[in-house]
Chains A and B, each alone.
Chain A
Amino acid sequence: MVDFTWLIGGPQGSGVETASTIFSGVCAKAGYQIFGKREFHSNIKGEHSYFEVRVSDRMVRSNSSTVDLMVSYDAETIFRHYSTVAPGGSIIYDLDMRDTETVDVATMDPYFKERLHAEIRRLGVPPTVRGVLDAAARSGVRTYPVSFKDLLADLAEQHGNPRLKLMKRMYNVLGVSLSAGLAGLPRDLLLRLIQDVFHKKAMVKKLNADAAAHAYDAGADLGDIAHVLAGAEKRPGTALVQGHQGTAIGKMVAGCRFQSYYPITPASDESVYLESNEILDVKHARPGSISVVQTEDEISAIGMMIGAALTGVRSSTSTSGPGFSLMAEALGWAGINEVPVVITLYQRSGPSTGLPTRHGQDDLLFAVFGGHGEFPRIVYASGDIEESFYDTCLCFNYSDVYQLPVIHMMDKFLSSTTTTCPVFDPSRVTIDRGRLLDSIDGEYRRFQLGGDGISPRSYLGLKNGIFWNTGDESDETGHITEDPVVRRQMMDKRLSRMDIVLERVPEEEQAVCHRAGEYTIVSWGSTKGPILDALEMLESEGVSVGFIQVKMLHPFPAKLVERLLGGARVIIDVESNQTGQMGNLFSQNIFRRIDHYILKYTGRGMTCDELYDAMSDIIRGGAPYRTVLMHGS
């Protein structure tokens, strides 16, 4: 079985991401399943960023805590990550920086330096790249010095162009190609991918392809880690997808034709992707399109989305915590006026600006309770990118059928993931527009009382369908009233929908019981991947642990979750936040205590290993009530 983790690091702006795209692409084309994730600072140029890709011949859904091959053309990557390379693993590094001292690396902040120096003193090595690499070598890591400068010099000679010697910009391609060579990935796949990535300019394409070929050969000459990545059997229908593509393509398929947004990490990639693909092919018809509007702020983004939705168009916006905070008032407007909209909430770590480019699941309770007054809404969470495609389509159906705002919870973990998964299948999607009318005869009242409280819906521009909306309480026509009896009728009409949602949404869409067990994890959202991987690790030791993934967070499917829990004796809540927010909802709704919390709020995603360790501790007995995970730089 192959389970191999590659890490590349470098200053932001140096092409770490391009290198990872290439590596992930080559591995996927070689038939592997991959899971890769990017970590970066809130900075454009200079600060440290890195990308870890886990490669396997089986499904992988998370990163592990150890690295098998690390490549680096800067000192910081070595200082930050040398200790995560497993004994038997390898480090390819740039010879030129061998003597760089820790104090020379200005971008390493004092807190990290302090911990690093303590470690270096313990190891008894000099505070240089060479020092820590020696220590790594002593613990069984193979270190491969390469002169990146010489590789460029060779290229300059080959091209008869001395200026190429200075093309440090190509270090990323050299790094990924050296790695591919050493790991024995197929050379032709590498070269093909390089050509794809740099297809825009012939000159650049040729240069990078030549550099890659040369570095690949140099990498292969370094040694040979037993051709660990020589290839695997390809699974048909496998796609290599990036975090935002699930929701973006989901929106296209679901028929979302209007998206407003204000730029924010990690949400805006989705909107930019939609705008880049704004013209849509439509079966048996002229092309369609999605209007993507970049607004002046998130208040405008939600306002425009609601305005568009009132014309009968499936509409959405995509944002992160700070933007969602600004949307709170208008969310209630959509609630009281029963407007179907979908807000895709790519969480990051708060509060306030918090860790703006780091992961967190700390907006759950805000999504559930945010906004003043009481109004119906659905909060729905996806566990991985593949799910996010289908869930996006479900969210639009929920919003139309139940006529309410839907908040679709995503996060930074998902958005900065690149992974293989079965390609999205639009034929599995249905579109249900609920009681949206296409013609009206006779008298019409938008908020007609009676029945199940969900009234037939007109839209702006529909003949005979005139209605009024207001943020004030209103009567059936939508005109303002403060009458106590009507007020009660309208409040009950709207809020009774919460029970209806739980009754009518199929159970398997509300919560998924992956396994049942005496020890059972309850969790939501992107922790799914690390949890499933950790549970497989436990299973291989004969330990079976249950896992219930709650997808419908509001209204909370209490009865269902209770039933799925079955005879679980010990309940463990796993979340990426400090307070265990879903555990909170769980206890409020189910009247059962969470026995253990496993939480992480460092801004870094969970790895399967640390989760495995924490779970093992719990099962062994004596684990604390609350375990905080810390892996990641």
Chain B
Amino acid sequence: MALRVADYKTDVHNDWCPGCGDFGIVNAIQMALAEMGVERDRTAIFSGVGCSGKTSHFINTYGIHTLHGRVMTFAQGAKVANPDLTVVAIGGDGDGLGIGAGHFVAAGRRDIDMTYIIFDNGVYGLTKGQASPTLKLGEQPKSLPKPNLNYSVNPIGLAITSGYTFVARGYSYDIRHLKDMIMQAVRHKGTSFLDVLQPCPTYNDINTRDWYAGLDMKDVAERHSRIYKLEDTGYDPAVHYADRGDLDEKISQALIRSLDWGDKIPIGVFYKNEHITSFETRMQEHIPNYTENPPAHQRISEEERPITDVSGLLGSLLV
């Protein structure tokens, strides 16, 4: 029986602030899971800690709400142990790009087949609005005692240079587009990264829904949504040939677009490279039956007795 979006929802009370961008993201995730028809008990959503971290409780699959900044570590461990699982990790911008930045980079190097979604609201929502690593220099959302002293991290650029093989951005109030990004990300073989612009109406009074819509622009005639879709401009994110020329071009254009902010903010797929050997394949080069007999499938005992045969090793230790 085909599953409906409702099947992917739990009845846990959702305590996000009214109007929070997170609602759109969780809806998009549930819609994407339903549309792809992923099996609920073969899917695990891992989340970090923050407002965003609660997401795993609202989705009716396995849901693991981990620690602040550490979501990718838990998620990767599970996926390596059981590659059959559909694994999606989610977390805040502080979670993934501040306290968890080291894990963010390391995950790109591994490129395990899974998805990472960051809820990018420019603030630390759950701790009452401090600056997150994506907040721009000099900005002062309402909880900050003085303007932000630091430059911001560039999530898209960092993901590409760290080795993520699918890098995209969505907007939490464009749910259909976001759902489409999530589906592409989940289907991608390798670690896909999705940066989701997420207004936090409670603490980020700068990058609001109205701001993204361009309603603050002075010249009424020229007013336009700040957000535009890369795909509408004929942008081609995909690396088509496994050679340096194409790679250089696709990485460069993606990095250049990743710098865009202000009046024109791109969403859509920035970069996609399907020519990288997957982590599973790399594992298999050393453990030939890794994918068909990964850790989670292996039997280790028979009637409470170990069945691992270490007689070879023990024999070599005998004097």
Contacts and interface: CB of A to CB of B under 8 A. Distances in A.
9 contacts: A257-B300, A285-B307, A291-B80, A295-B106, A303-B66, A310-B64, A330-B67, A432-B304, A466-B63
B300 to A, nearest CB: 3
Interface in A244-273: 245, 249, 252-255, 257-258, 260
Given A239-B318, A258-B80, A291-B80, A469 B64 contact: yes
Given A249-B313, A288-B308, A296-B103, A257 B81 contact: yes
Contacts, number: 239
A573 to B, nearest CB: 34
Given A296-B106, A307-B81, A469-B65, A291 B299 contact: no
A241 B57 contact: no
B306 A311 contact: no
Contacts of A237: 318
Given A314-B300, A460-B44, A307 B75 contact: yes
B314 to A, nearest CB: 6
A423 interface: yes
A308 B81 contact: yes
Given A295-B106, A330-B67, A470-B57, A308 B41 contact: no
Contact of A281 (B60, B72, B312): B312
Nearest to A280: B308
A429 B304 CA distance: 9
Given A307-B73, A461-B42, A461-B82, A282 B307 contact: yes
Interface residues of B, number: 65
Given A311-B295, A423-B317, A432-B304, A471 B66 contact: yes
Contacts of B309: 280-283
A423 B318 contact: yes
A293 B286 contact: no
A503 to B, nearest CB: 21
Contacts of B308: 252-253, 255, 280-283, 288, 426
A134 B81 CA distance: 63
Interface string B278-319: 000001001101100111101111101111111111100111
Interface residues of A, number: 85
Contact of B310 (A249, A301, A431): A249
A437 interface: no
Given A303-B66, A470-B57, 6 more contacts: A288-B300, A303-B74, A307-B81, A460-B78, A468-B56, A479-B12
B57 A286 contact: no
Contacts of B290: 289, 291
B84 A461 contact: yes
Interface in A221-242: 234, 237-241
Contacts of B103: 296, 299-300, 303
Which 3 A-B pairs rank lowest in CB-CB distance, beginning with the nearest? A255-B300, A303-B73, A307-B77
Given A240-B317, A461-B41, A257 B65 contact: no
Contacts of A296: 102-103, 105-106
Interface string B125-156: 00000000000000000000000000000000
Contact of A307 (B10, B78, B317): B78
A340 interface: no
Contact of A311 (B60, B78, B305, B319): B78
A392 B248 CA distance: 50
B302 to A, nearest CB: 8
B77 A305 contact: yes
Interface in A433-475: 433, 459-472
Contacts of A278: 286-287
Nearest to A330: B67
Given A234-B319, A460-B82, A460-B85, A303 B12 contact: no
B224 interface: no
A480 B62 CA distance: 15
Contact of A308 (B61, B63, B77): B77
Contacts of B82: 311, 313, 460-461
Interface string B48-76: 01000010110011111111001011111
B106 A300 contact: yes
A312 B82 CA distance: 9
A607 interface: no
B306 A431 contact: yes
B74 A307 contact: yes
B318 A238 contact: yes
A260 B296 contact: no
A431 B307 CA distance: 10
A379 B183 CA distance: 45
B271 interface: no
Contacts of A241: 317
A461 B294 CA distance: 13
B319 A252 contact: no
B77 A464 contact: no
A378 interface: no
